[in-house]
Chain A
Amino acid sequence: MRTIRFGFLLALATVPACGSAVMKHEAMAPASEAGVLADFHAGDVARRAGSPAQRGGADGGDAPVADVRKRVYVGEFTVLAAQRDTAIARFMTEAERVGGYVESRTDGVVVVRVPAERFQAIVAMVPALGRVLSESVRTQDVTSEWIDLDVRIRNAEVARERLLALLERATEMKDILAIEEQLRRVTTEIEQMKGQFKALEAQIAYSRITIDFQGQAPPPVRRATGSRFEWVNAIGIEPALRRF
């Protein structure tokens, strides 16, 4: 009978995201476990509802899930620069100046990450690097994904706590082995989800800007004698440098 009860609790403890399943098992649970299950279920439902007040109840008063929208900004450009290496160096320097970093550079394709609050400033300076041949700026709202991951992690952590509690109470080797197996599985899931969450947070905090720099060596400057109009021949870089 004890083994059956542990097996039953084990099954419940490892399905934190399945609210309807918990409801069914709770109805069938022996009276002695009803309190534990009720707490477990209440916490799970509250977290799934996602309201800050409800979330605080079962988890010890954690911060609200998301007070603001979570967005990922991505910019992609193709820039024609007369001096490609100089333009690339300027871009990377500017990204680092605002607290960003160079994620990769392959030939003329440079990918940088910049703090999200500086994304617009860096995008605005792209035309200064050369002639912009193509431009794509996208915003992805990842609020629901962020909340979902956060809730799943918290639920899994609660499940792990329940399993640990069950483990302390278990006396038979069969139960202990089964609980430990479930603990390993839940722990692995938590680590994976935390990794995903960390990656998502990084995407939100640091926007990605990719520029494909295309170099074009400017042809030699010809003598300014081509125009029929003298005033046009009189203007330009060469007169401004030599007759200034």
Chain B
Amino acid sequence: MQRFTITAVLAVVVSGCFASSYRAPDQFVELESTRAGAKFVASDDARLWIRRFTPEADGTLAFWREHVRLHFTTERGYTLISERDVKIDGAPGVEFTFEATVDGVLQRYALFLTTESRLVRDRVVTAEFVGTPETFAAHEAAVRTALRVE
């Protein structure tokens, strides 16, 4: 019984970790927060979506970086605006900025990518920030602050 209680408490703590690790950027509200991710939206519909994935295969950050860039630029037709090394909440990561027209509207998309070490398989953590160029520009500083991007 005691073991069950400890396990249950740990499960609650662990599941709450992700939700509490990132706060809503200024002028955003939290729509949803689970162990798998969190969604934040601004009044002008700019969106921030933080997710955690367990990939089908082990891959380093460098591997995922190359794959994501190629996938978005060659498969999806995105225009790569910038790419740089960053630290996301102290962890090594990469920040991409893409542009693409979806449903006739130009969208700017920032993808923050990092990995989490796990015993069995590393996980990938993504933070996606989407908006029109205007809304993107209005919120990008607040988003970087909330994600603790350096």
A: residues with CB less than 8 A from B are: 80, 82-83, 86, 90, 127-128, 130-131, 216, 218-222, 224, 226-232, 234-238, 240-241, 244
* B24 contacts the other chain (CB 8 A): no
CB distance from B37 to the nearest CB of A (A): 11
* B49 contacts the other chain (CB 8 A): yes
**Interchain CB contact under 8 A, A82 and B106:** yes
Nearest A-chain residue to B40, judged by Cβ: A244
Tell me whether A224 and B67 are in contact in the complex, defined as CB-CB below 8 angstroms, given that A234-B53, A237-B130, A244-B47 are known contacts.
no
**Interchain CB contact under 8 A, B68 and A232:** yes
CB distance from A68 to the nearest CB of B (A): 32
CB distance from B67 to the nearest CB of A (A): 7
Chain B at the A interface: mostly helix, strand, loop or mixed? strand
**Interchain CB contact under 8 A, B75 and A224:** yes
Interface string of B100-116 (1 = CB under 8 A from A): 11110011010100000
Tell me whether A227 and B53 are in contact in the complex, defined as CB-CB below 8 angstroms, given that A86-B133, A218-B77 are known contacts.
no
Q: Which among A83, A216, A238 is the interface contact of B102 at CB below 8 angstroms?
A: A238
Query: How many chain B residues touch the partner (CB < 8 A)?
Result: 41
Tell me whether A131 and B80 are in contact in the complex, defined as CB-CB below 8 angstroms, given that A218-B100, A237-B100, A237-B107 are known contacts.
yes
Restricting to B97-140, which residues have a CB under 8 Å from any CB of A?
A: 98-103, 106-107, 109, 111, 124, 126, 128, 130, 133, 137
**Interchain CB contact under 8 A, B71 and A220:** no
* B78 contacts the other chain (CB 8 A): yes
**Interchain CB contact under 8 A, B102 and A237:** yes
**Interchain CB contact under 8 A, B77 and A219:** yes
* B87 contacts the other chain (CB 8 A): no
**Interchain CB contact under 8 A, B78 and A218:** yes
**Interchain CB contact under 8 A, A226 and B99:** no
* B72 contacts the other chain (CB 8 A): yes
* B57 contacts the other chain (CB 8 A): yes
**Interchain CB contact under 8 A, B55 and A229:** yes
Q: Which among B39, B111, B133 is the interface contact of A244 at CB below 8 angstroms?
A: B39
**Interchain CB contact under 8 A, B81 and A130:** yes
Bound Cα distance from A33 to B111, whole angstroms: 82
**Interchain CB contact under 8 A, B76 and A224:** yes
**Interchain CB contact under 8 A, B130 and A240:** yes
**Interchain CB contact under 8 A, A220 and B39:** no
**Interchain CB contact under 8 A, A226 and B111:** no
CB distance from A235 to the nearest CB of B (A): 6
**Interchain CB contact under 8 A, B99 and A229:** no
CB distance from A82 to the nearest CB of B (A): 4
Interface string of B42-55 (1 = CB under 8 A from A): 00000101010111
Q: Which among A82, A228, A230, A236 is the interface contact of B76 at CB below 8 angstroms?
A: A236
Residues of the B chain whose Cβ atoms lie less than 8 Å from the Cβ of A226: 71, 74-76
Residues of the B chain whose Cβ atoms lie less than 8 Å from the Cβ of A80: 79
Residues of the B chain whose Cβ atoms lie less than 8 Å from the Cβ of A221: 76-78, 100-102
Q: Which of A127, A131, A228, A234 has the most CB of B within 10 A?
A: A131
Bound Cα distance from A4 to B124, whole angstroms: 96
CB distance from B3 to the nearest CB of A (A): 33
**Interchain CB contact under 8 A, A227 and B67:** yes
Tell me whether A235 and B101 are in contact in the complex, defined as CB-CB below 8 angstroms, given that A224-B75, A226-B76, A229-B57 are known contacts.
no
Nearest A-chain residue to B105, judged by Cβ: A241
**Interchain CB contact under 8 A, B47 and A128:** no
* Other 10 A-B pairs with CB < 8 A, given A218-B77, A231-B55, A237-B98: A80-B79, A86-B133, A128-B137, A131-B80, A131-B81, A216-B79, A221-B78, A227-B75, A235-B68, A240-B130
